[in-house]
Amino acid sequence: MERSFRSDLIRLVTFLGGVYFFLEFILPVSVLESVGVEALHEDISYGFIVFSSMAMGLGLINLFLVHGSRIIFQRKDWMYSFVLLIGLVCMMSSTVMDWRGGQGVADKARPFEILREFSDVIERDSTASREDVPPLEIRTEALRDATFARIAELRANIDQKTLLTFSDQEELYPLGETYIENLREILSGTEQAARDVKVGDFSSSQALAASLAQVSGFIRRIEQLNYDHSLTKKTYDFLYQGLFVSLGSAMFSLLGVYIAAAAYRAFRIRSFESSLMMVAAVLVMLGQIPFYVYISEDLPAVRQWLMEVPNSAAFRAIRIGAAIAGLVMAFRMWLSIESDSFSKERRG
């Protein structure tokens, strides 16, 4: 009785999982709008993504279980498992630290970005005649005061913090000094722009907003330069560029060698079909290399025709057939016909 309830519940949940996208596709937009689903579609789709992303940890847990137990019990090839887990932990922690480092760069420029945003909001609210916000005079005064305060704070910190960090890396010192000189000039300009802001004169507040954007952009550049030369970033680049990218490219290019070896077996002219395949492959390959001019000037055009006409038409036919089969499979899965053994409880 309980087992039957469980499998029925699983079937029901499986069905409910597919209902939303099915209805969202077949119902007219007017119906979706009237029930309010159209406006929420993006959020609902993200809900599905959030749900699916929760499975992410399963892979990690399984890796730790399988390789961790191999290390603990020192089973065959446990050293490779150890290398795998070390690589995983190092890359994970390095990526998290790089993420935090990138956020740190953005956070440094954030106060000036907020002020720029505030300047835009003042203009927007005033144009819309909003009454639930403080009066325009007070807001303009607050913008001006906050700008002065931020500039003073930054000026005090430029020498103490930024320059000090640059001085740790001697090769960056001249560049850092130039950047900071430029920033000082921009800060003076911003200060002047803040002084010139007049209540109700939005062109003056727009000039201030442009100046604030320039300051935040410059702070980002300085902090990014600083961060790019930090140990965190160097470690991340070492793991990402030195290992992840290199190993990935090497693995995929290794397949090229095996494909070429397989070509020998596949292209041995044993039948008319294999000859057709070989001729098409050779023409496509020759049409893509720079030496085609020594064979025929028309090879690239032949290659293009092969790709666009017979290849495109035949591949489309195969895709249509596969998509119909996929659709049938999807229906069977959705209605729990295909996954019968999955939804039933195991016996014994």
Partner 1 sequence: MSANAWITATVIVGGISTLAVYSFLIKENPFYRFFEHLFIGIAAGFLPVLTLKSLLWPRVFEPMLGLDIVQFPDGTFSGEYHSSILLYFFPMTFGMLYYCIYSKRFGWLAKLAIGFALGAQGGLAFKGFFAEMLPQLGSSFKPLVVIDQGGHALIWQSLENCFFVFTLLAVMYYFFFSFKRDGKVGEVVAMSGRWLMMVCFGAFFGSTVMARLALLVERVQFLLIDWYQALSNILA
Q: Considering only residues 14-43, where is the footprint of partner 1 by CB under 8 A?
A: 14-22, 24-25, 43
Classify the phi-psi angles of 27: left when phi > 0, otherwise alpha if psi is within -120 to 50, otherwise beta.
beta
Work out how close the CB of 114 gets to partner 1 at its nearest, in angstroms, rounded to a whole number: 5
For partner 1, which is the closer residue by CB, 159 or 288? 288
Q: Are 313 and 322 in contact (CB under 8 A)?
A: no
Select 15 or 294, whichever has its Cβ closest to partner 1: 15
236 and 95 in contact (C-beta within 8 Å)? yes
Phi then psi for 211, rounded to 5 degrees?
Answer: -65, -40
CB of 325 to partner 1, least distance (A): 10
Any contact of residue 61 with partner 1 (CB under 8 A)?
yes
Alpha helices in the chain (DSSP H): 2-26, 29-34, 37-53, 56-72, 78-127, 136-157, 164-167, 173-196, 202-228, 231-237, 246-266, 272-286, 299-306, 312-334, 340-343
Radius of gyration of the chain (CA): 32
Among 35, 46, 188, 268, binds partner 1 (CB under 8 A): 46
The residues in 271-330 that bind partner 1, with binding defined as CB under 8 A, are 272-274, 276-285, 288-289, 306-307, 309-321, 323-324, 326-327, 329-330
Residues 211-240 that bind partner 1 (CB under 8 A): 229, 234, 237-240
> Contacts with partner 1 in 74-93 (CB under 8 A)?
77, 80-81, 83-92
* Segment interacting with partner 1 (CB under 8 A) among 152-160, 180-188, 193-201, 255-263: 255-263
- Pick from 1, 250, 264, 291: which binds partner 1 (CB under 8 A)? 250
Residue found by looking up tokens 């956020």 in the block: 103
**107-166 positions binding partner 1, by CB under 8 A:** 110, 114-115, 117-118, 121, 133-134, 138-139, 142-143, 145-146
Residue 63 φ/ψ, nearest 5 degrees: -60, -45
